[in-house]
A and B are shown apart, each in its own frame.
Chain A
Amino acid sequence: MMGQLIRFLPLMLVIALGVVLYRGLSLNPQAMPSALVGKTMPDFALQTLINSDKVVTQADLLGDIVLVNVWATWCPTCKYEHPYLVDVAKDPQVKLYGLNYKDERVAAQQWLQHYEDPYVFSIFDEEGSLGLDLGVYGAPETFVIDHHGIIRKRFAGAIDTQVWRREFAPLIAQLIEEKKQGK
């Protein structure tokens, strides 16, 4: 009996290996967990895009359920996701801020005039220093920050209706619940 089982052991090992490798095929290697989930928003002091005299810090984002959307005029996908962001901005329970990443001020200001400006304000990160602290490696990216200022999610890529429903809606609902319960 034992000998019979051992005879099939290699076959079983190969099948197990096959299952593991097959699963690997369907994983998205681009989907990376952010190193910042669970940490507080990094400290920063940067000008807003509209007003170079106004300096904002991480404290200005505190207290609400916040989305920080990394965008730039050089990023075509940002244009694609823009109408969805305008929709998201209509939700009174979340506040949408922009992080204008490695961009030119005038071009970015024109973009916001030309299209609708969905952001409460946009942080002007010309050098990409806040982007670096956030582990941003492209645009668009969107961070979800809870009312304690803890980063809860990072999403790299464009937001549209489907992505919103799949990636964001459940988390936002959970955060609203947490906030209600005073957690």
Chain B
Amino acid sequence: MYLIKLVVLFLTLVLSVNQVEASPVDTYEFRDEVTKIRFQALTKELRCPKCQNQNLAGSNSPIAADLRKELYELLQQGKADSEIVHFMVERYGEFVLYRPRVSALTYVLWFGPVLLILLGIIVVIVVVRRKPVAKEVLVLTAEQEDKLKNLLNNK
């Protein structure tokens, strides 16, 4: 019972932490709803170079505000998402992408987990299908057989 209470408490904490995630308020006027959604999506995908565990949307640092402004201007200029991402990567490196691009450098990152799961599945299959080692067949001699019967009957 105590354990269940503890688990519930823990889950409440975890969930509530996610809910109170503060985000700075910028007052940008977008020309349409789509641009606004794109802005929100991009600020979530792009990482703040200064505060490494936050995205542009969640960071209060001056550089994040600058980059949001730049992002807004690029959007207003009608730049495509890929152009904007390229613009950021050219200046701040692959680092700014929360979702790294698939390249020779990131193959391990992208495909490593899948490979590990496959490896695990293969190991399990091999282990399960392996024939049990032939056990020594136990045969009782006639004398032991008699003794056993006696023991059982004398109970």
Q: CA of A36 to CA of B52 in the docked complex: distance in angstroms?
A: 19
Query: What's the least CB distance linking A58 to chain B, in Å?
Result: 16
Is A167 located at the chain interface by the 8 A CB criterion? no
Please tell me if the beta carbons of A35 and B63 are within 8 angstroms of each other in the complex. no
Total residues of chain B contacting the partner, CB 8 A: 15
Query: What's the least CB distance linking B14 to chain A, in Å?
Result: 24
Q: CA of A102 to CA of B67 in the docked complex: distance in angstroms?
A: 14
Is A34 located at the chain interface by the 8 A CB criterion? yes
Is B83 located at the chain interface by the 8 A CB criterion? no
**Residue in contact with B49 in the complex, picked from A33, A128, A133, A137, CB distance below 8 Å:** A137
Please tell me if the beta carbons of B95 and A132 are within 8 angstroms of each other in the complex. no
Please tell me if the beta carbons of A132 and B93 are within 8 angstroms of each other in the complex. no
Is B5 located at the chain interface by the 8 A CB criterion? no
Please tell me if the beta carbons of B92 and A137 are within 8 angstroms of each other in the complex. yes
Is B50 located at the chain interface by the 8 A CB criterion? yes
Q: CA of A135 to CA of B92 in the docked complex: distance in angstroms?
A: 5
**Residue in contact with B91 in the complex, picked from A29, A35, A138, CB distance below 8 Å:** A35
A29-B52, A30-B52 known; A135+B66 contact, CB < 8 A: no
Interface residues of B: mostly helix, strand, loop or mixed?
A: helix
In chain A, what residue has the closest Cβ to B93? A35
Q: CA of A36 to CA of B90 in the docked complex: distance in angstroms?
A: 7
Q: CA of A32 to CA of B51 in the docked complex: distance in angstroms?
A: 13
Please tell me if the beta carbons of A133 and B95 are within 8 angstroms of each other in the complex. no
Query: What's the least CB distance linking A156 to chain B, in Å?
Result: 10
In chain B, what residue has the closest Cβ to A37? B93
A30-B52, A35-B90, A138-B50 known; A128+B66 contact, CB < 8 A: yes
Query: What's the least CB distance linking B73 to chain A, in Å?
Result: 11
Is B146 located at the chain interface by the 8 A CB criterion? no
Within 8 A of A (CB), among B53-71: 62-63, 66-67, 70
Within 8 A of A (CB), among B61-115: 62-63, 66-67, 70, 89-95
Please tell me if the beta carbons of A132 and B52 are within 8 angstroms of each other in the complex. no
Is A171 located at the chain interface by the 8 A CB criterion? no
Please tell me if the beta carbons of B50 and A137 are within 8 angstroms of each other in the complex. yes
Q: CA of A33 to CA of B93 in the docked complex: distance in angstroms?
A: 8
**Residue in contact with A132 in the complex, picked from B62, B70, B94, CB distance below 8 Å:** B70
Which residues of chain A are near B94, meaning CB under 8 Å? 35
Is A89 located at the chain interface by the 8 A CB criterion? no
Query: Which 4 residue pairs across A and B have the least CB separation, nearest first?
Result: A35-B93, A137-B49, A135-B91, A137-B63
Known: A102-B62, A135-B92. 4 other contacts (CB 8 A): A35-B90, A132-B66, A133-B91, A137-B50
Interface residues, chain B, with chain A CB atoms under 8 Å away: 49-50, 52, 62-63, 66-67, 70, 89-95
Interface residues, chain A, with chain B CB atoms under 8 Å away: 29-30, 32-36, 102, 128, 132-135, 137-138
